[in-house]
Structure 1
Amino acid sequence: MTIRRALVVLGALLAVVLGAAAPASAHAALVNTNPGEDSVVKTAPQQVLLTFSEGVLLSADSLRVLDPAGGRVDSGTPQHADGKSSTAVVALRAGLGDGTYTVAWKAVSEDSHPVAGAFTFSVGAPSKTSVVLADQEQAVGGGAAGVLYGIGRYVAYAGYAMLVGASVFLAVCWPRGALLRPMQRIAVGGWVALVASTIALLMLRGPYVNGNGLGDAFDLGVMREVLNTRPGAALLSRLLLLAAAAVFLAVLFGSYAKRGTPANESERAERADLAWGLGIGGGVIATGIAATWAMAEHASVGIQSALAMPVDVVHLLSMAVWLGGLTALLTALVAGLGIEREAVQRFSRIGFAAVTTLVATGIYQSWRQLGSWDAFVSTSYGQLLLVKIGLVVLLVELAWLSRRWTARLGAPAVSVTAAAAVKRPERVVAGSSTDPARQAQLRLQRTARDKTQAKRTREADLERSGLRKSVLAEVAVAVVVLAVTTLLTGTQPGRAAQEKTGSAPAPATSSSSSGLPLSVRIPYDTGGPKGKGQALITIDPGRVGQNEVHVLISGADPVPVDVPEVKLEFTLKAKNIGPLPVPLQHLDVGHWTAASVQLPIAGTWEVSVTVRTSEIDQVTETKNVEITS
């Protein structure tokens, strides 16, 4: 298998891996709800309020509240409460009856990733509900749209690296190479890939965020909504910058490359002016394109965002210069284009600077996104980052090997392939046959001879052969690094994941501070058939004195189930009080209640629930709740 085919197969496999990856984890974490999740309130609330760990973008259907039969009971359009972007509130219709209500929500994090979820609360007492949300609310960021969106993001990163890296390589390291078709194809191919992926991301943005199917990709109304968001504006800006990049490539491969070596002082000055113009213009375009990622993803939210965004831009530029330049160098070496030793050494110095910058900015990004050493192993982001760090260490080792081969390079042995890289007219040999079939046969023979001669020339140059192999290994590892980087950008940062855990509402909420009953959910597993489930215990009002207690037992799915026996006890270990048994009465399917439970002292009480699912399968689970005075 040829090197080109191997790289194509590797890229295809990585695209499949990216497409098969799980949808991005929630980046904006839901930290509080009112009414509380799984709570039981005496009277129907007037609104539902959600609070997130960071700002979110809302749409007309970001909050839906459904009654036990699945009917809509929300009224109006979801809004931010008190102008805070980290909140979402929607009004409820008047006169809601008793029963369990389902809140389905979806939004877009400030870092452009969609989030969604659902929870329930009950008015009066819990009841059965027929609401099914699996297909409606959980598809955001996933499904076919999520797969295609992930592939598009990977192609965009790869295209950017090819465009910027090859342009820098040809403009700074090897200007003569800008005349060669194989080298031009790298930069132009990167430009085409970035344009195509950006258009695809714009079209897929709506289905990716809303989870309504790929049909939304062709809905002009959805497209208008996308363009009014920050991610949509970033993608549109990228397209405009790519139009300017097309002009840059036309000048680079046109007037600049064809000027050749200046013959006099005037031509040198003119070429220098053109080089400065290309450098400044290309730098502005490359920086602007990198900023379209920084302004809409992880760098734009969280701590030190004002510093993180320019650091992210520098990180992307360094990545592109190194990885795209490696691809250009590998192409020159594999095709036997006779690249000069000085050009390779020049790129070696630029690549070293790019790698140094890449590592420095990567360390800062890792600290900012992780927040603690524990996040390396306790979060998906940290685990992926460990993989990336290992791959980057391997890349640096391979780069060091390539620098050693570079130092040993001699003068290039220009092959027939290199000479044929620039289009030249066909020579007509006197006396040769004019039969078209014969002419075609002769051309095939010449091509085969040229390839054989090129291969012999490459194999005879040991230094270039060694450099070619080490650069090939660098490019292969770099392709994997790019895939892991793409996955990282779609994974919840470790710091955010830990903040989500730390800021998540406690399983029990005291009515003294929230005005709602205290609620606690306790999972159980008796070990027998259908022995897994959970017990939802509500204590109203959750204060010292008389309380009303409800116990709702559900199976592995959130559907109430009856079990042969349920026991409940309270113990205040700090005061050696209890255990106090609670006389439960069976009220409905999976629902037990006690009208008068006396809790005499404030403090941390241990709630002990015993569930028996058969004659021999029984388990007792405990959890603490805070009873206030």
Structure 2
Amino acid sequence: MFKRNMKPLWVWMLVIFIGVLIHPAASSAHAYLTKSSPSDNEVMTQAPAKVTLQFNEALQPAFHSIIVMDSSGAEVNQGNSKIPAGQPAVLEVDLKAGLPDGIYTVQWKAVSGDGHPVNGTFPFQIGTSSQGTAGHIVYAGYTPGADLILIRWLFYVSLAFLLGILCFYLYLLPAGGGSRLPVLSPRSRKLLGISYAALVIGVLLSLPMQTAIEAGVGWSEVWNAELLGKMLRITSFGHIWLVQVILVLFLGALLYAATQSTEHKGLRALYAGTLLTGVGLLLSKAFIGHAASAESIWMPVFMDFLHLVSVSIWLGCLLALGLILPREASLPEESELRKQSYFAVIERFSLWGTTLVAAVLISGVYASLTYVPTWYSLLHTAYGRILLLKCVLLLVMLGFAAVHLIRGQRRSKPLGAGVWIEFAAGIAALVLAAALSNLPPASSNPGPVNVHQTLDNRTVVTLQISPNIAGENTFEVSVKDASAKPVQGIQQIKLTLTSLDMDMGKYEIEIPGADKTYKARDLISMAGRWNVHVHILTESLDAWDTDFQITVGSS
């Protein structure tokens, strides 16, 4: 029966997997500055009336600021920053009238649509006679602390235990001839009670935690009615948190009614309702993570939810198999019959586990394609390295799951210590998942550019840009003939940069040649997708042109 069911399952999983590969949704997951007026290091002949910042995505309407200071450190902005009506991706602040010539520094802070704070600094200059040196754009994102990781992990683990135990009694235990009604053992009731208490703590603490992150204050300062009220009223996290509180209360009521009920009628429906409410909580979490900042959120949110619910049920069922199944009173008492029932439950879980593993792999591949654009970003960013470690833990879980599948089919040995190793790997993976949820994704640092194009005349043009982030970069172009020798007689090389994300005009960089090395240092004004047009003019007035499309990181 198991093998017959597997064929259509894997056919559908293969179709979904191909669909994911064909339609990955690129996402930055954190807001970054795409345009500013004044722009960084702009020299202006007249004082501007205001500073306007344009971001790549809508901002949270709270906890933002723009401070403009002169060279002495005095503030010259007038009033607080604001988001203009109908322009959720724009932040602006008015300036005092009649600012004198000089160098000014803009310090800004904003919160991404997914609740992650970002900040940056850039200078501009009024007049050409100012003394001093202007700097360059500086960008910084948020790095999660131990408090955030612990609270998110508590949320994930408590829900995993709740969902796993409920799934065990509703769908796994009946395969072994146990009670078809979810009649819980005392141990199961205790585990559900502890899990629910941990869930309540995790949800309640998440509000002050996120408020502290977005407002930029510590735990001692966050217990402020104005801050918490602002968070609840006008941020997406606050709105989702209220939904989560309602779901937690509803889940608690259902759980209490089901565990205290003495009537068998309707008991299964009560537990199914509790299970669906827990799944709803995981769905709500997907709306306040990286996925929520995508241009089209539905596919990313669905994949994030699929990943969370699959890992949670997988992990929770492992707990039930290790702690509850060996002592389950509803299984037959006779030794041989009990053994058969035990392995019937394991075999049922093997089918479940295969489905859950496939869902984890599909959603994991999707997330990797979305948030990790290059091998460099996988190996050289905190997000990429933690993701690699999480993949190792999932592989450990997969290995033990395969062993359990074989044992279930052969009905040879009980699961033993292997189930606890698999369970421990899952718990550790949830810790890493909690960290990943607030780390800047690897797409913020795709790494240096090193690309080449072969022209119709077989000339090879290579473009290198390092470090390939918003701000100052080194641009280097090499031109070689078909035999890989440097082309002689090049008079001029000019790069023209055009943003593919928004209309910003064109920015030209002329690269002088010295000893046949065509290198220059210049600015890329913002992160995102760019087209780099390379124009090469030879001494014989031949013109060669080619284009490269690159993705520039924010940090």
Is the TM-score greater than 0.5? yes
For the 8 Å contact 2:290–2:437, the answer to whether it is kept is yes
Alignment partner, residue 390 of structure 2: 388
Distance 2:470 2:398 in 1: 46
* 1:263-278 correspondence runs (5 A): 271=265, 273-278=266-271
* Matching residue of 1:366: 368
1:128/1:221 Cα in 2 relative to 1: closer, same or farther (>3 Å)?
Answer: farther
Could you say which residue in structure 2 is the equivalent of 1:163?
162
Inter-CA distance 86–219: structure 2 relative to 1 (3 Å threshold): same
Q: Deviations over 1:419-476 (max 9, x none)?
A: xxxxxxxxxxxxxxxxxxxxxxxxxxxxxxxxxxxxxxxxxxxx23xx1211011011
Q: Matches of 1:236 and 1:378 in 2, distance apart?
A: 38
Match of 1:237 in 2: 243
Secondary structure of 1:54's aligned partner = coil
- In the alignment, structure 1 residue 356 sits paired with structure 2 residue 262: no
| Correspondence 1:184-583 to 2 at 5 A | 184-228=189-233, 229-255=235-261, 271=265, 273-279=266-272, 281-332=273-324, 340-341=341-342, 342-372=344-374, 375-377=377-379, 379-409=381-411, 463-464=413-414, 467-495=415-443, 497-498=445-446, 574=491
- What is the 5 A alignment of 1:81-100? 81=84, 83-100=86-103
Equivalent residue, structure 2, for 1:180 = 185
The answer for the alignment partner of 1:42 in structure 2 is 45
Q: Which amino acid aligns with 2:394?
A: V
SS in 2 for 1:56: coil
Cα contact 1:160–1:190 (8 A) shared by 2: yes
Give 3-state SS (helix, strand or coil) of 1:68's partner. coil
- CA RMSD of the aligned region, Å? 3.9
Bigger-Rg structure (1/2): 1
| Structure 2 residue identity aligned to 1:149 | L
Is the CA contact 1:59–1:78 (under 8 Å) kept in the aligned structure 2? no
Q: Secondary structure of 1:468's match?
A: coil
Q: Distance in 2 between matches of 1:326 and 1:246?
A: 23
183-192 or 239-248, larger mean C-alpha shift: 183-192
The count of aligned residue pairs is: 432
Q: Is the Cα–Cα contact under 8 Å of residues 162 and 324 in structure 1 kept in the other structure?
A: yes
Give the direction of change, closer, same or farther, for the CA distance of 1:360–1:47 in structure 2 (3 Å limit): same
- Which ranges in structure 1 are unaligned for 5 or more consecutive residues? 1-24, 260-269, 411-462, 508-519, 523-571, 577-601, 609-620
Which residue pairs with 2:521 in the alignment? Answer: 623
Q: For the residues of structure 2 that align with 1:299 and 1:181, how far apart are their CA atoms?
A: 39
Give the SS at the match of 2:324.
helix
Structure with bigger helix share is 1
Residues 279-326 of structure 1: CA deviation (Å, up to 9, x unaligned): 2x2343123201211111112222542222223222222111111111
TM-score by length of 1: 0.61
What secondary structure does 2:105 align onto? strand
Shift of 1:504: 8.5
Amino acid at match of 2:221: D
Q: Which amino acid aligns with 2:55?
A: F
Please state whether the residue corresponding to 1:117 is helix, strand or coil: strand
Gaps of 5+ in 2: 1-27, 332-340, 450-464, 475-488, 494-507, 525-555
**1:77/1:172 CA distance change after superposition, 3 Å:** same
How has the CA–CA distance of structure 1 residues 254 and 173 changed in structure 2, closer, same or farther, with 3 Å as cutoff? farther
> Which residue matches 2:482?
none
Quick one: distance in 2 between partners of 1:165 and 1:506? 45
Structure 1 residue 64 displacement after superposition: 1.3
Higher RCO (CA-CA < 8 Å; seq separation 6+): 2
TM (norm. structure 2) is: 0.68
For residue 454 of structure 2, what is the aligned residue in structure 1?
Answer: none
Contact (CA 8 Å) 2:373, 2:443: kept in 1 or not?
A: yes
Q: CA deviation at 1:400?
A: 1.0
Query: 1:95/1:500 Cα in 2 relative to 1: closer, same or farther (>3 Å)?
Result: farther
Describe the SS at the equivalent of 1:217: coil
Measured at CA, do residues 53 and 64 of structure 1 come closer, stay the same or move farther in structure 2, by a change above 3 Å?
same
Q: Letter of the aligned partner of 1:469 in structure 2? A: A
1:362 CA drift (Å): 2.2
